[in-house]
Amino acid sequence: MDHVGVLALFDRDMREGAQPDTPDARVERAGRVVRQVSSPQGWNGVVWSDLDESSADTAIAEQIAYFSGLGREFEWKLYGHDLPVDLGQRLRDAGFTAQPEETLMIGEVADLTLDAEPPEGIRILPVTDRAGVDLVADVHEKAFGTDGSRMRHQLLARLTDDPESVAAVVALAGDIPVSAARMEMAPGNRFAGLWGGGTVEEWRGRGIYRALVAHRARAAVGRGYRYLQVDAMSQSRPILERLGFQPLTTTTPYVYVP
């Protein structure tokens, strides 16, 4: 893989050319920043910037003023190759809090290992309605220990208003949800995004996460996508590398609460 070329393509398609992640959100360009504006229940934040040392502090202050005026908590999604090189420090100085760093991993679907199947006793079901979304949210809260309200809102909105833009799955042991994940797709893009992959702690290490990645990758092939993108946590990165994904840069969420 041409890492430099693919990363530039990712920046252009998925960040500068970002599309809203729910029907009630909008993406807009504000000077040298691209941001998503959503409801308080949705994701609000900066997805792309083209800044330098002379423009960064002003742009940060403008975004703080804008989202604070809306009464919105928001996230500045900072990538390891973003400029200026001290942008993270400037965000911290302005009152942002850094969340755990993740690794942007991308796989070309033609090169991925897609034959991973779920272990015995586990079945994978597509999520198509509110009941399925509730199962995904239940897994999310147990796997990550965080509130699943925002994810529930986003997934249900997409399944209701734009079902072709998302494919969600849940893994069941009998009738018990033990793992879940989703894939987000935008028409005309070369990238599909893998999100929310999580397994309840006592079911980890059995190959369920790997099977859900392969399951979604096969679906991406069927829909004509060339690349798959994941923001990988440290536990997921080795599994993704074995499947053929490659690390391109880091990504760190910086959160500002008005």
Residue 146: the pLDDT is 86
Overall average pLDDT of the 195-219 stretch: 93
Residues 6+ apart with CB under 8 A from 220: 109, 183, 185, 192, 228
Burial 117-139, CB ≥16 within 10 A → b, else e: ebeeebebeebeeeebbbbbbbb
Residue 150: the pLDDT is 86
CA–CA dist 205, 80 (Å, integer): 30
CA–CA dist 76, 33 (Å, integer): 10
The pTM of the full predicted model, rounded to 2 decimals, is: 0.92
Share of the chain above pLDDT 90, in %: 86
Task: Identify the band that residue 187 occupies on the pLDDT scale cut at 50, 70 and 90.
Answer: confident
Overall average pLDDT of the 198-219 stretch: 94
CA–CA dist 81, 252 (Å, integer): 11
pLDDT in tens, 95-140: 999 999 999 999 999 899 888 899 999 999 999 999 999 999 999 9
Asked if residue 148 has pLDDT above 90, the reply is no
Residue 22: the pLDDT is 85
Asked if residue 79 has pLDDT above 90, the reply is yes
Asked if residue 153 has pLDDT above 90, the reply is no
CA–CA dist 48, 33 (Å, integer): 6
Residue 171: the pLDDT is 97
Task: Identify the band that residue 225 occupies on the pLDDT scale cut at 50, 70 and 90.
Answer: very high
Residue 13: the pLDDT is 95
Task: Identify the band that residue 177 occupies on the pLDDT scale cut at 50, 70 and 90.
Answer: very high
Task: Identify the band that residue 184 occupies on the pLDDT scale cut at 50, 70 and 90.
Answer: very high
Output the DSSP codes for 61-98.
Answer: HHHHHHHHHHT--EEEEEETT-SSTTHHHHHHHTT-EE
Mean pLDDT of the chain: 95
CA distances from 112 to 93, 106, 212, 225 (A): 41, 10, 13, 13
Task: Identify the band that residue 23 occupies on the pLDDT scale cut at 50, 70 and 90.
Answer: confident
CA–CA dist 104, 227 (Å, integer): 13
Asked if residue 179 has pLDDT above 90, the reply is yes
